[in-house]
Structure 1
Amino acid sequence: MEVRHTTNPADVKQYTTERLRQEFLVEGLFEPNKINMVYSHYDRLIVGGASPVGEALRLEDQETLKTEYFLERREAGFLHIGGGVAVITVDGEAYELSKLDVLYVGKGKQDVQIASKDKNDPAKVYIVSANAHAEYPTRKMTAEEANPTHLGSLETSNERVLNKYIHADGIQSCQLMLGVTTLKPGSIWNTMPTHVHDRRMEAYLYFDVSEEARIFHMMGEPSETRHLVVANEQAVISPPWSIHSGAGTSNYAFCWAMAGENYTFSDQEFISMKDLK
């Protein structure tokens, strides 16, 4: 597992494009027959990807976590982003996930394995894990059960569907929050006007992006913005002090996941367009 440390916003102002990408962009998550993960020191969030083609892949990394098993002091969310049906087995109990289904697995589960139901049509599973001090039950939720909310409009180029999976009124967790936003054809903007939430970090995974398309992910302090150019199935680690929004050259989807002190959506501090620089 790759480990990334936190950064000082005053220092980030001096970063080159390449340094920004090294610190905040996560590439190569979905490699056949491997689980690739990045451990961020921002609220100890882990993001990862699994694409099982042959045998099942076990979620583990004792060397990095220094624990007996992965979820000894953690919880995790699993989002199926494409391909065939994913099969996630939790302490012997199997759960099948179709595209945009989410499985939450709470603290204390010892054996988690990820497989594809059909090896000729491998699944792609996005993994997000946060520290946990309390146990919550394993639960699966489909996109339909996530109460899709239609937001925005084509006139403002942000017509989209929001699915909230892991949150206070959905799948219960200790601190992890997770959802998916899907932009309609003709819409390109996400989370604009933008905001910050200084008590939570966030990670984005962009997916369903066409091969030639790119996302311009906006980050940085509101008075000192920067951007990352992001391709399909790449993730961005967003510090608590940073804005997080983006515009694509076509429509796309993204998974947003958060961890930190607050377990609410009401701590957002919205930034006026006139204050962005």
Structure 2
Amino acid sequence: MEERHTTHPLEVKNYDTDRLRQEYLVENLFEFNKVKIVYNYGDRMIIGGVYPEKILNLEAVEVLKSEYFLERREMGVINIGGKGCIFVDGVEHTLDNMDGIYIGMGAKDIKFTSIQEDNLSKFYFISTLANAAYPTTKIRNKEVIGMELGNWESANERVLYKYIYPEGVKSCQLVMGITMLKDGSVWNSMPPHTHARRGEVYLYFNIPKDDIVIHFMGESTQTRNIVVKNEECVISPYWSIHSGVGTKNYAFIWAMAGENQLFSDANSIELTSLR
């Protein structure tokens, strides 16, 4: 397990490239036949990756001080690999590529496995604190209605899919979904914004082997960037913008947790104010 601590924006002004990556970039999230866990003290979000050939259990980690992983937590899972299964207290849920599942607080026994030996599953999960239990719910990608955003002229045509949110699959505080950029588009979340009441995590994926995404972060007048490769995460603190541009179109899973679940509370930033 890795731990990531909260940082103050005044400190980040002095970070070099290596320190930025150390604090905010999560690499090697999908390790063969392992459950990888990164505990982020910002909003107490846990980032996880499971790349199973055999059945793998989700065990409680020491930092939680709990009997089982979801004793005081909830989680969302999206499969970005081959078809696989998640067992929640003995109930089997089959997830195709891009399918997801919400697992409510109180679920004790969680297992992951792949179905196809030649195309293993890659389960990406985010777990957040919870004080209420909501039903475990499977989310089929083909049933999620996409929201068209952006335009061709700005190279940011994209489709946003909400998986876990107040008007859909309900949770205590987790909000989660996928954004996919269309061919020829490379910008996401530009003009940028911040969420003063929520932290956010981006998992970038579907990036070709020889391509990259440049993720922009920091205060609007003190911007910084991190070069991201396929299946790497960036942790975005509440005070930071979170935007990116790729050398080719790509996709990312976004997840938020904090004081509220409102999409409308984002603080928009004008492009002319960026530095």
Once structures 1 and 2 are overlaid, which stretch shifts more, 117-126 or 266-275? 117-126
Match of 2:119 in 1: 121
Match of 1:165 in 2: 163
- Superposed CA deviations along residues 109-130 of structure 1, whole A, max 9, x for unmatched, are 0000010012332111101000
- 1:57 maps to 2:56: yes
Taking structure 2 as the reference length, what is the TM-score of the superposition? 0.99
Post-superposition shift, 1:62? 3.0
Match of 2:11 in 1: 11
Match of 1:196 in 2: 194
Match of 1:22 in 2: 22
The answer on whether the counterparts of 2:75 and 2:128 sit within 8 Å (CA) in structure 1 is yes
Aligned residues: 275
- 1:95 maps to 2:57: no
- Superposed CA deviations along residues 134-167 of structure 1, whole A, max 9, x for unmatched, are 0000001112222111211221101111100100
Q: Tell me the amino acid that sits aligned with residue 70 of structure 1.
A: F
Q: Tell me the amino acid that sits aligned with residue 183 of structure 1.
A: L
Match of 2:267 in 1: 269
Q: Tell me the amino acid that sits aligned with residue 123 of structure 2.
A: V
- Superposed CA deviations along residues 235-277 of structure 1, whole A, max 9, x for unmatched, are 0000000000000000000000000001111110000011111
Q: Distance in 2 between matches of 1:108 and 1:67?
A: 11
Q: Distance in 2 between matches of 1:264 and 1:214?
A: 31
Q: Distance in 2 between matches of 1:6 and 1:116?
A: 34
Q: Distance in 2 between matches of 1:276 and 1:163?
A: 28
Q: CA RMSD in A?
A: 0.8
User: Which residues of structure 1 form unaligned runs of 5+?
Assistant: none
Q: Tell me the amino acid that sits aligned with residue 212 of structure 2.
A: R
- Superposed CA deviations along residues 190-246 of structure 1, whole A, max 9, x for unmatched, are 000000011000000000000010000000000100000000000000000000000
The share of aligned pairs that are identical, in percent, is 52
Q: Tell me the amino acid that sits aligned with residue 219 of structure 2.
A: E
Once structures 1 and 2 are overlaid, which stretch shifts more, 136-145 or 57-66? 57-66
The answer on whether the counterparts of 2:83 and 2:94 sit within 8 Å (CA) in structure 1 is yes
Post-superposition shift, 1:63? 1.6
- Does the residue aligned with 2:80 lie in a helix, a strand or coil? strand
Q: Tell me the amino acid that sits aligned with residue 33 of structure 1.
A: N
Match of 2:41 in 1: 41
Post-superposition shift, 1:61? 3.0
Q: Distance in 2 between matches of 1:209 and 1:104?
A: 25
Query: 4+ residue stretches of structure 1 with deviation over 4 A?
Result: none
- Does the residue aligned with 1:123 lie in a helix, a strand or coil? coil
- Does the residue aligned with 1:109 lie in a helix, a strand or coil? coil
Alignment map for 1:168-179 (pairs within 5 Å): 168-179=166-177
The answer on whether the counterparts of 1:62 and 1:68 sit within 8 Å (CA) in structure 2 is no
Match of 1:72 in 2: 71
Q: Tell me the amino acid that sits aligned with residue 215 of structure 1.
A: V
Taking structure 1 as the reference length, what is the TM-score of the superposition? 0.98
Q: Tell me the amino acid that sits aligned with residue 144 of structure 2.
A: A
Q: Distance in 2 between matches of 1:90 and 1:191?
A: 34
Q: Tell me the amino acid that sits aligned with residue 185 of structure 1.
A: D
- 1:81 maps to 2:80: yes
Post-superposition shift, 1:175? 0.1
Alignment map for 1:218-257 (pairs within 5 Å): 218-257=216-255
Q: Distance in 1 between matches of 2:124 and 2:251?
A: 13
- 1:146 maps to 2:144: yes
Match of 1:134 in 2: 132
Post-superposition shift, 1:96? 0.6
The answer on whether the counterparts of 1:215 and 1:248 sit within 8 Å (CA) in structure 2 is yes
Q: Distance in 2 between matches of 1:225 and 1:241?
A: 12
Q: Distance in 1 between matches of 2:75 and 2:178?
A: 16
Q: Distance in 2 between matches of 1:275 and 1:155?
A: 21
